[in-house]
Amino acid sequence: MTDRRPAEVFPPGEFLADELEARGWTQTEFAEIIGRPQKLVNDVILGKRAITPETAADFAAALGTSAQFWMNLETAWQLSKVPPRDDSIARAAKLRERFPVREMCKRGWIKLGDSAAELERNVLSFFNLSSIEDPIEFQHAARRNYKREVTAHQWAWIFRVSQLATALKTPPYSEASLRKRSSELEQLMAEPEAIRNVPRILFECGVRLVVVEPIPGSEIQGVCFWINENKSPVIGLTLKGDQIDKFWFDLWHELEHVLNGDGKGGLIIEDFDESKAGDDEAEIRANRAAANHCVPLGAMNDFFLRHNPMFSEKSFLGFARIMKRHPGVVAGQLQKRTGRWDLFKKHQAKIRHIITETALTDGYGVNS
């Protein structure tokens, strides 16, 4: 006998009763054949007992079917008794599949709510969406030269930066003021503690600096965009890679974008990987300006040519002192120039705990 599949769902016991009748077997005789109590056979036929894998194997051996056939009958019957579900479970699963709901709730960006429907409304409100299927849209699309698709994790981080930046009230942005005070910012590069003054100076120039701890796996380092009809620049940083040289390079990179009006026509998403700049003129310009602010390029070239490949601690520290830069800032630029990432690494001081004390911050133990 080959496997048979029921055309409609009914209790497996009914099918068993039909099989016994077709063979002219009584329940007692069938029980003797399979070596089981007659009550078990009767209970299955009356629907009082479910078919177990062991029972299915015995039925299959006696009736020439497969054990899977009887298990399928039992499963189909049990499922037929389950009340139909609405789409709330599927919608909840889709919501969490598309958006980093758990992280967003954990960080207080949205409220979990008392129901799946309320949670969905909260998520959609965060992203300004009408439905789960709608594409995420920001005030500017990501610039064309951002090679990868922006993920929902990245969008969540960007929207949080935007929320905080919008809530921050600053004076009108002044390009002239920012250019004038760039020298004041450079003076802060000699000591890690001086970094706490950066947010104040940028604020006074009308630049909104926001620090948001990244969502794990989001692979994003920073962002630059404009709000208030392209009148107010926003710089968002993750502070991944907590060291003084990276902070200053990343900040100067973004400030160059601001000074050149980059980001007005397209959201600039950063990973600050100089090797990926390619032929993007805005990125090449921002990288060069950032490097020059960290250590003036002429002086850096001269120091490199005179000492490469033997860089002594004494000459290195002397050069940093002359440049009025913290040694960690110089170390970062020297590492990029040589490709020797361990060179003077001990001087790359951590600064995250300093900047988050004065910058508008969400994460890293700070609740905005």
Position with higher pLDDT, 1 vs 148: 148
165 vs 207: CA distance, rounded Å: 10
19-41: average pLDDT: 95
List 214's β-bridge partners, or say none: none
- Predicted local distance difference test score (pLDDT) of residue 148: 74
The Cβ of residue 121 has, within 10 Å, a number of other Cβ atoms equal to 14
- 5: closest CA among 49, 62, 70? 70
Which tokens is 345 given? 């690494």
Of the two residues 94 and 10, the one the predictor is more confident about is: 94
Per-residue CA distances from 247 to 23, 43, 108, 244, 326 (Å): 84, 74, 26, 5, 12
Q: Cβ atoms within 10 A of the Cβ of 263, count? A: 23
- Tell me: pLDDT of 2 over 70: no
User: Distance from CA of residue 123 to its chain's centroid?
Assistant: 15
CB 20 within 8 A of CB 26: yes
pTM: 0.82
3-state SS, residue 209:
strand
Q: pLDDT category, 1, cuts 50, 70, 90?
A: very low
Question: Rounded to the nearest 5°, which phi and psi values hold at 366?
Answer: -110, 130
Residue 171: CB partners within 8 Å, gap ≥ 6? 203, 204, 205, 206
266 pLDDT more than 50 = yes
Residue 271: which pLDDT band, with cuts at 50, 70 and 90?
Answer: confident
CA–CA separation, 211 vs 223, rounded Å? 10
- What is the reported pLDDT for 367? 67
Confidence of residue 46 (pLDDT cuts 50, 70, 90): very high
